[in-house]
Amino acid sequence: MTSTTSEPGKLRIALIGYSFMGSIHAQAWTTAPRFFDLDVVPVLAAVCGRNQEAAESFADKFGIGRVETDWRALVADPEIDAVDICVPGNLHAEIAIAALQAGKHVLCEKPLANTLAEAERMALAAEEAKARGALAMVGFSYRRTPALAYARDLVRDGRLGTIRHIRASYLQDWIVDEDFPLVWRLEKDKAGSGALGDIGAHIIDLAQYVTGHRLAGISALTETFVKTRPLAGSSSGLRAQGHDKAEQGTVTVDDAAVIVGRTAEGALATFEATRFATGRKNAIRLEVNGSLGSLAFDFEDLNELWFHDHTDPAESAGFRRILVTEPTHPYAGAWWPPGHGLGYDHAFVHQAADFARCIARGEQPEPSFAEGLQIQRLLDAAETSAAHNAQWQDVTAGA
C-alpha cells in the first residue's frame, strides 16, 4: 500500500532539534531532491527547539517557514507528514511514540533510545503504526557511505566466503582535556551512555550491516577516565571571582568501551569505542576477514575500500584499493564524475532520499525500529557485562 501525504507530491517534515545533528539533517532534506529522483519531494515545513531565538535563526538559514518551541504542536498538526528527531536520547521515546500514534512517519537519530525498555516501547509503537500506514526508521547514517554499502555487496556476492573475523573501532579525542565542560553527552539521564551508545552503536550496526551477521553474545569493559568536569558556563564566572577551578559535576557515562563478541553465524568480533584516542577525530575502521578474502575501511579515507581476494595466486595476492566513486557504486552515480569524492554529509543525503522513497512507496525504510531495538539490546548487554567485570552475556540474535 502506498502511503499518502497531506499534500500530494510532497513530504512535509517537522525537524525536532537544531544543533549539529539538526543542521546536517536539514542540509540533507534540502539537498536530496536536487540530486536524486524521488517519488515525493521532502519539504522542511517546521523546526522545533526550546530556544525561540536560536530556532528562528536556524529557520532563516534553511528557509524554514515555521518555528515552534513545543514539539507537541507539530505532532498534532495534520499538515505535517513526518517527524525527524534530532534531540538527546532522553526525548526520543516520548516524541517518536506520540508522532507514530498521530499517524506521522518518523526518522529518529541513533541510538534508538536511552534504555532497553524505551526502545521496546518505540519498536512496538512502530509495528502498530505500520499497520496504519505510518513508517519509522532509525538514523544509522554511516550505512549509506558508498564504500560501506559496496562492502556489503561484496559480502552478499560471496567474495569473502565464510566470515570468520569482524573488527571495528570508532576513535575520537574531543574530551581528552579534563577541563572540557560537562555537556549533555556526558550525563546519563540525557545521553543514556557515553562512547558506548554514541559511537559504539555505529560500529556495531556497521559490522552487522556489512556482514549480515548478528551478535549472539558479548563481553564488555567500560571506563570513565575523567570522573568530574566543570559545569557548563561555570568557569568564567568563578575565575572572575578569584577561584582557580570551576564548579564540578559528575560524569555519569563511560568514556570508552571495549567489546568482544561472537555472532550467531560463528564469527568472532571485537569493538572499541573511545573519546580518548588522542589525535583521532572521527576515525571509524572496519575490517572483515573471510575464507576467500578480506575487506578493510577507514572513514578518514571514506571514498576508498581495500579488498583482498585470497583466491589470487600468492605471488600477486594482496590488498588492493577500490575507489568507490563509479556510477555503478551505491549512491555514487547521483553525484560527481568518477574520482571526485564525497564527504561526511553525503550519507545523510542518501538517508533522506531512501526515507522519502520508502514513504512514497509504502515500503519499510531500513534500518527499522526493530533493528534499532536489536542494537539497543546489545548496548544494554554491554553495560550489564561491564558492570559485572566483563561477564559474558547471551543476546537474542534476531533483529
How high is the pLDDT of residue 232? 84
8-state DSSP, 196 = I
Average pLDDT over residues 150-161: 98
pLDDT band at 6 (very low <50, low <70, confident <90, very high): low
pLDDT band at 3 (very low <50, low <70, confident <90, very high): very low
Cell of 7: 499534500
380: Cβ contacts below 8 Å, ≥ 6 apart: 115, 116
How high is the pLDDT of residue 326? 98
Cell of 168: 571495528
Pairing mode of beta strands 393-394, 283-290: unpaired
Average pLDDT over residues 43-68: 97
| d(C-alpha 84, C-alpha 44), whole Å | 10
Q: For 117, list phi and psi in degrees, rounded to 5.
A: -60, -40
How high is the pLDDT of residue 234? 66
| d(C-alpha 108, C-alpha 43), whole Å | 17
Domain 146-301+303-342+375-393 coded CATH 1.20.140.10 = no
CATH number of 10-142, picked from 3.60.21.10, 3.40.50.720, 3.20.20.60, 3.30.70.890: 3.40.50.720
pLDDT band at 369 (very low <50, low <70, confident <90, very high): very high
Contact 105, 83 (CB under 8 A): yes
Q: How far is CA 287 from CA 53, 72, 269, 347, 356, in A?
A: 45, 43, 10, 20, 31
Indicate whether 71 pLDDT > 60.
Answer: yes
Average pLDDT over residues 157-175: 98
Cell of 95: 516524541
Q: For 362, list phi and psi in degrees, rounded to 5.
A: 70, 30
3-state helix, strand, coil in the chain (%, to 5): 35, 25, 40
Q: In terms of Cα–Cα distance, which of 252, 263, 307, 256 is closest to 280? A: 256
How high is the pLDDT of residue 233? 77
Report the DSSP beta bridge partners of residue 107. 84, 137
Coil/strand/helix, residue 174: coil
* Cis ω for the linkage preceding 111 (within 30 of 0): yes
Residue-wise pLDDT tens digits, 179-211: 999 999 999 999 999 999 999 999 999 999 999
Contact 362, 183 (CB under 8 A): no
Residue-wise pLDDT tens digits, 210-243: 999 999 999 999 999 999 999 987 654 444 444 4
57: Cβ contacts below 8 Å, ≥ 6 apart: none
H/E element, 30: helix 20-35
pLDDT band at 396 (very low <50, low <70, confident <90, very high): confident
How high is the pLDDT of residue 235? 53
How high is the pLDDT of residue 5? 58
CATH 3.40.50.720-classified regions of the chain: 10-142
Residue-wise pLDDT tens digits, 9-51: 999 999 999 999 999 999 999 999 999 999 999 999 999 999 9
Surface-to-core class of residue 91, CB atoms within 10 Å of its CB (0-12 exposed, 13-18 middle, 19+ buried): middle
Q: What is the value of pTM for the model shown?
A: 0.94
161: Cβ contacts below 8 Å, ≥ 6 apart: 290, 291, 292, 293, 310
319-323: strand order across its sheet = 319-323, 304-309, 293-298, 283-290, 163-171, 268-274, 256-263, 215-223, 393-394
Cell of 94: 516520548
Residue-wise pLDDT tens digits, 372-381: 999 999 999 9
Q: What letter represents residue 332's amino acid?
A: A
8-state DSSP, 182 = B
How high is the pLDDT of residue 228? 98
Residue-wise pLDDT tens digits, 277-308: 999 999 999 999 999 999 999 999 999 999 99
Q: How far is CA 228 from CA 44, 233, 244, 275, 371, in A?
A: 40, 15, 15, 15, 34
Indicate whether 69 pLDDT > 70.
Answer: yes
Pairing mode of beta strands 163-171, 283-290: antiparallel
Contact 140, 110 (CB under 8 A): yes
CATH 3.30.360.10-classified regions of the chain: 146-301+303-342+375-393
∠170-175-176 over CA atoms, to 5°?
95
Coil/strand/helix, residue 16: strand
H/E element, 322: strand 319-323
365: Cβ contacts below 8 Å, ≥ 6 apart: 107, 135, 136, 137, 354, 355, 358, 359
How high is the pLDDT of residue 130? 98
| d(C-alpha 201, C-alpha 205), whole Å | 6
Report the DSSP beta bridge partners of residue 285. 169, 298
Q: Can you tell me which residue has the cell 578518514? A: 300
